[in-house]
Chains A and B, each alone.
Chain A
């Protein structure tokens, strides 16, 4: 049997979910034996998301143009997409800026009103991705197959989600240990 093609992506999140993934410690060795890591900020050097991915953990909300393009690409090329952590599932902390309204109000607040040295708006088209007006959870943009809440989900929760998948079974996302937010 071919190895499972495994990916992780990092959108608008703090990387905490990926840090928690690394907390899997020695189980990572078992995981590495069962999967091919084909794309991941913590496990692979590729810059373009490859075709034919079996399982992808998506950390972070959709907050800018780059997140949006990447998530469409990921969805197109992935069999099983997992919303990984509260930012992906609820938009969480990154979405607290939604209360300010549009992206221009947010940029003005962050870079002009609160900028103490040379306040100026960031403007590098093609280099700095544009903010979306609203930060949204992943499933508001593309269909999601498994939701793994938590900020971050504990290593135990991540393992309990991935382990059944390695055996071709779906994990049971139920009970406090699997779905409590925060």
Chain B
């Protein structure tokens, strides 16, 4: 396999062809904030948090879905990128209803973490306060659409790792929401195996275990990566 050489924030790095900028950055030890990226499943470029600047290309590119190319000169943390990242996170907070103090994911939420990372101390955008639903028809789990950021990690993990494909995205634009089955209550979807992978994949408090109350949802993200390497490389211990 051929190798590409490129620079990330001035550091030269070599990585095999077909790798993404995000993988290259990880190898180079350069942190890029992400939300919709999840180790073990495919990338879709939904959240736009991982945007980077590539010299000679006058638009910002999502690092998680952009393949490396020979001689790329990449900047990951310019003032422009910092501005956009913070704006993106502010918009995510203003779009749904994030009441962290009463959320199952408080203290264990990746959205909270990136808010800290990008330095968001308030949202400059007017809160929408949408009236989104909560579905607790499933015996073990629930989904609170108010906290969903439409990263589609649940959709991908259920389809690609569990093979059940319970989740999908319905509607368009601001009306988008995650549906189970054919837009049925989750508890009525026969395809759901109750494996709980979507609970661990969800970066926020949107999908949770029933019985978990404020700040009690502790995600085990590494479990998914472990499952995938276990299957692909027959490594069954961690």
> Which residues in A have some Cβ–Cβ distance to B below 8 Å?
83, 86, 89-93, 95-96, 98-101, 134, 136-137, 139-140, 144, 147-149, 151, 173-176, 178-182
Q: Interface residues of B: mostly helix, strand, loop or mixed?
A: loop
B126 to chain A, nearest CB (A): 7
The docked-state distance in angstroms from the alpha carbon of A182 to that of B105 is 10
List of A residues within 8 angstroms of B129 by Cβ: 95, 98-99, 134
CB-nearest residue of chain A relative to B214?
A: A182
Q: Is the CB of A90 within 8 A of B115?
A: no
List of A residues within 8 angstroms of B116 by Cβ: 175-176, 179-180
Q: Is the CB of B106 within 8 A of A179?
A: no
Q: Interface residues of A: mostly helix, strand, loop or mixed?
A: mixed
Known: A90-B93, A91-B127, A136-B127. Contact between A182 and B100, CB under 8 A?
yes
- Indicate whether B107 reaches chain A with its CB closer than 8 angstroms: yes
How many B residues touch the partner, as a band? 20 to 34
The docked-state distance in angstroms from the alpha carbon of A178 to that of B116 is 9
- Indicate whether B112 reaches chain A with its CB closer than 8 angstroms: yes
List of B residues within 8 angstroms of A134 by Cβ: 129
The docked-state distance in angstroms from the alpha carbon of A83 to that of B124 is 13
B100 to chain A, nearest CB (A): 3
List of A residues within 8 angstroms of B175 by Cβ: none
> Which residues in B have some Cβ–Cβ distance to A below 8 Å?
93, 97-103, 106-107, 112, 115-116, 119-123, 126-127, 129-131, 215
17 A/B residue pairs, CB under 8 Å, sorted by A: A89-B122, A90-B98, A90-B122, A90-B127, A92-B101, A95-B127, A99-B97, A99-B129, A137-B127, A139-B122, A140-B126, A173-B121, A179-B115, A179-B116, A182-B100, A182-B101, A182-B112
B57 to chain A, nearest CB (A): 31
List of B residues within 8 angstroms of A144 by Cβ: 122
B73 to chain A, nearest CB (A): 29
Of B97, B100, B126, B215, the residue contacting A181 (CB under 8 A) is: B100
A154 to chain B, nearest CB (A): 13
The docked-state distance in angstroms from the alpha carbon of A98 to that of B126 is 13
A14 to chain B, nearest CB (A): 10
List of B residues within 8 angstroms of A151 by Cβ: 100-101
A132 to chain B, nearest CB (A): 13
The docked-state distance in angstroms from the alpha carbon of A144 to that of B103 is 26
CB-nearest residue of chain A relative to B111?
A: A181
Known: A86-B101, A90-B127, A93-B101. Contact between A182 and B115, CB under 8 A?
no
List of B residues within 8 angstroms of A89 by Cβ: 121-122
The docked-state distance in angstroms from the alpha carbon of A95 to that of B94 is 12
List of A residues within 8 angstroms of B119 by Cβ: 174, 179
Residue among B107, B121, B126 facing the most chain A CB atoms (10 A cut-off): B121
